[in-house]
Amino acid sequence: MKYSRSFFNYQLFLQGCAALFFLAGCAVPEPPAPFGAVPTQYQIEWQKMEYYMFIHFGPNTFTDVEWGDGKEDPKVFNPSQLDCRQWAATAKAAGMKAIIITAKHHDGFCLWPSKYSTHTVRESVWKNGKGDVLKELSEACKEYGLKFGVYLSPWDQNHPQYGTPGYNQVFSNTLEEVLGNYGHVFEQWFDGANGEGPNGKLQVYDWDLFHQTVFRNQPHAIIFSDVGPGCRWMGNERGVAGTTNWSTMNIAGFAPGREAPPGKILNEGEKGGKAWVPAETDVSIRPGWFYSPSTDEQVKTLSQLVSIYYTSVGRNSNLLLNVPPDRRGLIHPNDSTRLMEFRRIIDGTFSVNLANGATITADMTRGSSSKYGAKNLIDGNFDTYWTTDDGQLAATIEIDFGKEQTFNRLALQEYIPLGQRVQSFCVEHWDGNSWQMLDRQTTIGYKRILCFPMVTASKLMIHIEESLACPVLNGIGVYKAPEI
């Protein structure tokens, strides 16, 4: 068979195209390997929630104490207008993503008719003993598109078996009851509170049993405690995470409560820690955790809430803000009004990213490939990122606005599925004649928000000064926040 010259030319053309495609494919480097401890997919989704509501509610609401002793008459629990839909509607309107409720506090009172206790809503006069707060709240959360979480204190000042070996199984049964009957539970909240049992012995908690019970019923649940394993307490109730905040820590040898890590570790995490245990910041909108009429005029100010936002969400931590219902079973107007004001400020601050439309470049890009280019930092896609070659631990990103812009906030985000890497960075702005230092900080993590006095500049430069492995960032935002 004879072939024309054009046929051979066509064959050469196809071979050339194949070679070009092959070379183009080879030109895109592999993504960075994960570094150190990394989050599970459930932890990543949890971190994206950022902000949700804590509800402290129970007999303490009616006795005006913070810690009941388990001897209170259950008939004292009698909300006159309890409406969990109002709670959920308020949380939704406030921009929150979930509600976590104190299903059982240290007094042992259960907000559901538990068959493992005689100190429950069943023994109250509310709804003639036929009510179930967990059922109503879980349904309300589902209706309003919120996630549902529960707090169960292992300390129980009412249960007769507390302080005996048999209590651990009682508490496990209680967990099973809650986690198996109210739908999806996104977070199980534990503290390490521990008191004397009826025979004078401290209860030795079986945390392995408790965790197994949680994961058997809710395998996706984030477990909160001093040592996680899902997320950790960050060491205070003021709403202030560390200016350095690693999502990693070493938990071996520690346990919730008396055996918790030192406060500095809780607040800051540990560089190179073997476990991924990100911080959750819990703080109340009022001076106490439970409602008290005496604090109706002591709701945190707008400026206090905004400050807490920046020292929690702005420092690589989720914000769990407690909003306690009153004795009617409703969120008080003073609290809800402040929440709406707070949302307006946060939404107004972050609605316009001044980096969008700017020219963004980096002096180092992995394999010089556009796949890892600086433009990924402003595309709004969580899973695209800028990064450098392996071993390149320092780099500079420049934002050229093309004109002068006025701003006072800078948000940076690391791509945490590949680990937390950056340990120091600084920011400079161009004043028209020279670069001026704006801020210098340590960690970034899922989100870091810098707050500084209003500046006007046409350019901004971020220097990654030290990183544990090649830096991987997936977001930059420049904003102008209203002065409060």
Handedness of CA 58, 59, 63, 65 (dihedral sign): negative
Q: What is the pLDDT of residues 449-476, one digit of tens each?
A: 999 999 999 999 999 999 999 999 999 9
Q: What is the pLDDT of residues 316-346, one digit of tens each?
A: 999 999 999 999 999 999 999 999 999 999 9
**Looking at the predicted structure, is the pLDDT value of residue 16 above 80?**
no
Structural domains of the chain ordered from first start: 41-350 (3.20.20.80), 359-479 (2.60.120.260)
- State the average pLDDT over residues 263-292: 98
- State the average pLDDT over residues 22-36: 78
Q: What is the pLDDT of residues 386-445, one digit of tens each?
A: 999 999 999 999 999 999 999 999 999 999 999 999 999 999 999 999 999 999 999 999
**Looking at the predicted structure, is the pLDDT value of residue 312 above 90?**
yes
- Say how far apart CA 225 and CA 339 lie, in whole Å: 26
Q: Note the pTM of the prediction, 2 decimals.
A: 0.94
**Looking at the predicted structure, is the pLDDT value of residue 3 above 50?**
no
Task: Give the least confident one: 24-28, 175-179, 388-392, 425-429.
Answer: 24-28
Helix or strand (DSSP H, E) at 456:
strand 448-467
- Say how far apart CA 473 and CA 450 lie, in whole Å: 16
- Say how far apart CA 23 and CA 261 lie, in whole Å: 52
pLDDT band at 27 (very low <50, low <70, confident <90, very high): confident
Quote the Cα angle for 365-48-230, to 5°.
105
What local confidence, expressed as pLDDT, does residue 19 receive? 43
- Say how far apart CA 81 and CA 327 lie, in whole Å: 8
Cβ pair 168, 130 in contact under 8 A: no
What local confidence, expressed as pLDDT, does residue 26 receive? 54
- Give the long-range contacts of residues 261-265, CB within 8 A, separation 24 or more: 261/226, 261/227, 263/235, 263/236, 264/235
**Looking at the predicted structure, is the pLDDT value of residue 114 above 60?**
yes
**Looking at the predicted structure, is the pLDDT value of residue 226 above 50?**
yes
Q: Which residues contact 274 (CB under 8 A, 6 or more apart)?
A: 37, 248, 250, 251, 252
**Looking at the predicted structure, is the pLDDT value of residue 211 above 90?**
yes
Closest listed residue to residue 481, CA positions, set 454, 460, 442: 454
